[in-house]
């Protein structure tokens, strides 16, 4: 099995870290750090127009700065009735003055007249893993669902309270973390990265 001794998760979001760590632990990763451990790394400008481009930009930048393998993700919500919005702008949809609650309400307001039959959407996550030797790998995960008419649930973060999973008859925010980690877009992309790591030659850092 590949052994990755040290890894930087390119985020300050502790919710993401809590989702990622349980998948990395079985791979033998002995030290995981985040951007909270590197306060000198300021906001990395996401100039890409796709999730893949933005994840790759972040992974490469953090890898170059730290000299360590770096894992970054870019994820968001695509809604068919809004022509794919909020998409790559999910985290800053509606401007910097809005928090998660405000962004959820903005989506619901824009969809107030959209019937149930047209409320399809999906969470998309691209994970990028960059190595100091220049290697870069990306993997994608998606999760299909429907946009609710009002927020439901207290778990999760972001758009989870308005994203309904028909199979589970719950929003993403109503699922326990363990269940979300099994089915979410981030979990799917992360498990693909884990499979990739397990297949690579041994890498010690």
Q: Which domains does the chain have, with CATH numbers?
A: 6-199 (3.90.950.10)
Q: What pLDDT score does 125 carry?
A: 96
Q: Token digits for 113?
A: 């007249």
Task: Work out the average pLDDT over 173-189.
Answer: 88
List, in sequence order, every beta strand (DSSP E) within 92-185: 120-130, 136-147, 163-165, 170-171
Nearest Cα to 126, choosing from 175, 178, 182, 71? 71
| pLDDT above 90 (res 79) | yes
pLDDT reported for residue 203: 55
CA 40 vs CA 64, 128, 201: distances in Å = 13, 21, 32
* Catalytic pick among 52, 73, 74, 160: 74
Q: How does strand 70-79 pair with strand 31-34? A: unpaired
Tell me: pLDDT of 25 over 90. Answer: no
d(CA 108, CA 21): 32
Residue 3 pLDDT > 60, yes or no? no
The model carries a pTM of 0.86
Cα separation of 151 and 3, whole Å?
41
Instruction: Say if residue 196's pLDDT is above 70.
Output: yes
CA separation for the pair 123, 74 (Å, rounded): 11
Tokens for 97, please give them: 């003055």
* Mean pLDDT of all residues in 125-142: 96
Q: Mean pLDDT throughout 182-192? A: 90
Whether the Cβ atoms of residue 144 and residue 188 lie closer than 8 Å to each other: no
Q: 5: which 2 tokens?
A: 């001794």
- Tokens standing for 95? 């401007």
d(CA 93, CA 148): 18
Q: CA 73, CA 111: separation in Å to the nearest integer?
A: 27
State the average pLDDT over residues 1-7.
62
118 catalytic residue (yes or no): no
């Amino acid at each position: 099995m590949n052994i990755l001794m040290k890894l930087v998760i390119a985020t300050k979001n502790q919710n993401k870290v809590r989702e990622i760590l349980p998948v990395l632990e079985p791979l033998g990763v002995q030290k995981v750090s985040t951007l909270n451990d590197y306060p000198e790394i300021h906001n990395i400008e996401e100039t890409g127009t796709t999730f893949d481009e933005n994840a790759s930009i972040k992974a490469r930048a953090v890898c170059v700065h730290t000299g360590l393998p770096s894992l970054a993700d870019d994820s968001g919500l695509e809604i068919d009735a809004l022509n794919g919005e909020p998409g790559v702008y999910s985290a800053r949809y509606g401007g910097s003055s809005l928090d998660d609650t405000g962004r959820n309400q903005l989506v619901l307001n824009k969809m107030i007249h959209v019937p149930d039959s047209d409320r399809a959407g999906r969470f998309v996550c691209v994970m990028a893993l960059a190595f100091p030797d220049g290697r870069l790998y990306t993997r994608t995960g998606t999760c299909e669902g429907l946009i609710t008419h009002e927020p439901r649930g207290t778990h999760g973060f972001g758009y989870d309270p308005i994203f309904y999973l028909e199979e589970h008859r719950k929003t993403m925010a109503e699922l326990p973390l363990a269940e979300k980690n099994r089915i979410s877009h981030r979990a799917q992309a992360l498990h693909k990265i884990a499979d990739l790591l397990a297949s690579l030659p041994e890498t010690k850092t």
